[in-house]
Amino acid sequence: MTERLLEVNQRGLWQSVNQKMLEKFQAIALEPEGIIENL
């Protein structure tokens, strides 16, 4: 879900997103990758 929201933002379709919320979504999207790399 988070990745879809980030994609919508990249396409310019999500006008009301604020920067702080966007940064949180980016961190959530990257979290699983960090866990996998540390295995």
Which structural domain range is residue 18 located in? Answer: 2-37
Higher pLDDT, 16 or 39: 16
0.85 exceeded by the pTM?
no
The CA distance from 2 to 39, in Å, is 23
pLDDT digits (tens, 9 = 90+) for 4-32: 999 999 999 998 989 999 999 999 998 87
The answer to whether 8 and 14 have CB atoms below 8 angstroms apart is yes
The answer to whether 4 and 30 have CB atoms below 8 angstroms apart is no
Cα→Cα distances 9→1, 14, 34, 35, Å: 13, 5, 23, 25
pLDDT recorded at residue 39: 72
pLDDT recorded at residue 27: 93
Tally of domains in the chain: 1
pLDDT recorded at residue 25: 92
pLDDT recorded at residue 34: 65
The CA distance from 28 to 15, in Å, is 20
